Amino acid sequence: MIDLNQILDQTKSIAKEAGAFIRKERQHFDLKKVEEKGFNDLVSYVDKEAEKIIVNKLSKVLPEAGFITEEGTREEENKTYTWIIDPLDGTTNFIHGIPVFCVSIGLMKDNEIVLGVVYEVNLHECFYALKGHGAFCNDTPIRVSAAPSLSQSLIATGFPYSAFAQIDEYLEIMKVLMQKSHGLRRLGSAAADLCYVACGRMDAYFEYNLNSYDVAAGSLIVQEAGGEVTDFKKGNDFLFGREIIAGNKPVHEGLWKELDQIWNK
- Which CATH number fits the domain that encloses residue 127? 3.30.540.10
Mean pLDDT by 10 residues, the chain (265 residues): 94 98 89 64 78 97 95 78 97 93 97 97 98 98 98 94 83 96 97 98 96 97 98 97 97 97 88
pLDDT at position 37 is 60
Same domain, 67 and 184: no
pLDDT at position 233 is 96
Three-state SS string across 55-71, please?
HHHHHHHCCCCEEEECC
Task: Tell me which residue range forms the domain holding 37.
Answer: 4-141
Closest to 120 measured CA to CA, from 144, 96, 151, 90: 90
Which residues carry a binding-site annotation?
Answer: 70, 86, 88-89, 214
CATH number at residue 187: 3.40.190.80
| Domains contained in the chain, number | 2
Domain end position, chosen among 80, 109, 141: 141
pLDDT at position 256 is 98
Domain end position, chosen among 85, 119, 141: 141
pLDDT at position 235 is 97
Which residues carry a binding-site annotation for Mg(2+)?
Answer: 70, 86, 88-89, 214
Q: Is 92 helix (H, G, I), strand (E, B) or coil?
A: helix
Same domain, 13 and 90: yes
Are 220 and 115 within 8 A, CB to CB? yes
CA 85 to CA 71: how far, in whole Å?
9
Chain centroid to CA 193: how far? 7
Domain end position, chosen among 141, 168, 202: 141
pTM metric for this prediction: 0.94
pLDDT at position 38 is 54
Same domain, 124 and 158: no
CA 253 to CA 120: how far, in whole Å?
28
- Strand 204-208 and strand 154-157: the pairing is parallel
CA 101 to CA 90: how far, in whole Å?
5
Same domain, 95 and 57: yes
Same domain, 130 and 12: yes
Non-local (6+) Cβ contacts of 250 within 8 A are 147, 148, 149, 150
Q: Please, is 108 exposed, middle or buried when counting C-beta atoms within 10 Å of its C-beta (0-12, 13-18, 19+)?
A: buried
Q: Please, is 119 exposed, middle or buried when counting C-beta atoms within 10 Å of its C-beta (0-12, 13-18, 19+)?
A: buried
Same domain, 212 and 155: yes
Burial 22-35 (b: 16+ CB within 10 A, else e): beebbeebeeeebe
CA 83 to CA 67: how far, in whole Å?
5
Same domain, 207 and 259: yes
Same domain, 63 and 92: yes
Same domain, 191 and 165: yes
